[in-house]
Amino acid sequence: MTDNSNNAAERPHLLPQVPAACTLTPGGGRAQIERWRAFDRAHLIDIRHEETRLVARYARTSEAARLLRELVATERACCSFVTWDVQDEPSELVLIVTGSPEQLSAVTLVAN
């Protein structure tokens, strides 16, 4: 399913619940979710859902680039069952999460 909505404020944030395959402790998982929520509220432009990848675009600032890299470093360690890639474009940051549909459902960017 593809979400082509451009209004990021109408969608929940990345990782609304800790995936079962995540290796973070429950407390660590909750803290990571809150970091994602705060980051998304401040920087998220839009999200596109594709069959084998999720693409999230963020406003580019030096602070956003630093925070996104920290978030992704944690995700790569705890949720390595998908591929996490950050593209640092001149005007935006692009996060691409790649995996099978089943794997992506564990870290989904679900639209309501």
- 43-97 confidence digits (pLDDT tens): 999 999 899 999 999 999 999 999 999 999 999 988 888 999 999 999 999 999 9
User: Which is it for the CA torsion 44, 38, 107, 32, positive or negative?
Assistant: positive
Rounded Cα distance between 83 and 64, Å, is 20
Residue 2 has pLDDT above 60, yes or no: no
Higher-scoring residue by pLDDT: 24, 1: 24
Domain locations along the chain: 8-106
Name the nearest CA neighbour of 14 among 64, 63, 56. 56
For residue 24, the Cα-to-chain-centroid distance in whole angstroms is 16
Q: Order the strands of the 92-98 sheet from edge to edge.
A: 44-49, 53-59, 92-98, 83-88
pTM of the entire predicted model: 0.75
CATH code given to domain 8-106: 3.30.1360
